[in-house]
Amino acid sequence: MAYSNKVIDHYENPRNVGSFDKDDASVATGMVGAPACGDVMKLQIKVNAEGIIEDAKFKTYGCGSAIASSSLVTEWVKGKSLDEAQQIKNTDIAQELALPPVKIHCSILAEDAIKAAIADYKQKHGG
């Protein structure tokens, strides 16, 4: 299967790989997917006092498109408020990376990862 140049770029030079201390109050974690399905994404966001995502990191077990999708969203969420990040759509991710139809689930997973991280943050901070 031929990958788009953007997928290859993110795959070969993934942005923001890593982890934050999950016990840090400003850090929230979203982990979605399942090993049995071949994809697990862990997205962490660091939110400042103004409610702006100031940093993000990811780790992903999955195909090149899954890695690229998570790498891309770490770039996209930075500098956004939680509400703005909540608006990121899987279709935008798929379009940006020119994902083929069989890889659309990777972009859906990346959107889910953002939403899961935001939900975790809200839960940590009393909703």
Partner 1 sequence: MKLPIYLDYAATTPVDARVAEKMMQFLTMDGEFGNPASRSHRFGWQAEEAVEIARSQIAELVNADPREIVFTSGATESNNLAIKGAADFYRKKGKHLITVKTEHKATLDTMRQLEREGYEVTYLEPQTDGLITVAMLEAAIRPDTSVVSVMFVNNEIGVVQDIAAIGELCRSKGIIFHVDAAQAAGKLDIDLQALKVDLMSFSGHKAYGPKGIGALFVRRKPRIRLEAQMHGGGHERGMRSGTLPTHQIVAMGEAFRLAKLEMHDEIKRITALRDRLINGVKDIEQVFLNGNREHRVPHITNISFNYVEGESLIMALKDIAVSSGSACTSASLEPSYVLRALGMSDELAHSSIRFSIGRYTTEAQIDHTIKIVHQAIEKLRAMSPLWDMYKDGVDLNTVAWVAH
Residues annotated as part of the active site: 37, 106
Q: Which stretch binds partner 1 (CB under 8 A): 36-44, 45-53, 84-92, 119-127?
A: 36-44
Q: For residue 14, count other CB atoms closer than 10 A to its CB.
A: 18
Question: Site for partner 1 (CB under 8 A): which residue of 31, 52, 104, 119?
Answer: 31
Q: Characterize 60-92 residue by residue with b for buried, 16 or more Cβ atoms within 10 angstroms of its Cβ, and e for exposed.
A: bebbbbbbbbbbbbbebbbebebeebeebebee
- Measured distance CA(110)–CA(92) in Å, rounded: 11
- Measured distance CA(52)–CA(85) in Å, rounded: 9
3-class DSSP state of 55? strand
Q: Which stretch binds partner 1 (CB under 8 A): 33-41, 46-54, 78-86, 91-99?
A: 33-41
Q: Is there binding between residue 109 and partner 1 (CB under 8 A)?
A: yes
Question: Site for partner 1 (CB under 8 A): which residue of 27, 63, 94, 114?
Answer: 63
Smallest gap from Cβ 123 to partner 1, in A, equals 15
Residues in the site for partner 1, rule: CB under 8 A? 1, 3, 11, 14, 17, 19, 31-42, 59-64, 66-67, 102, 105, 108-109, 112, 116
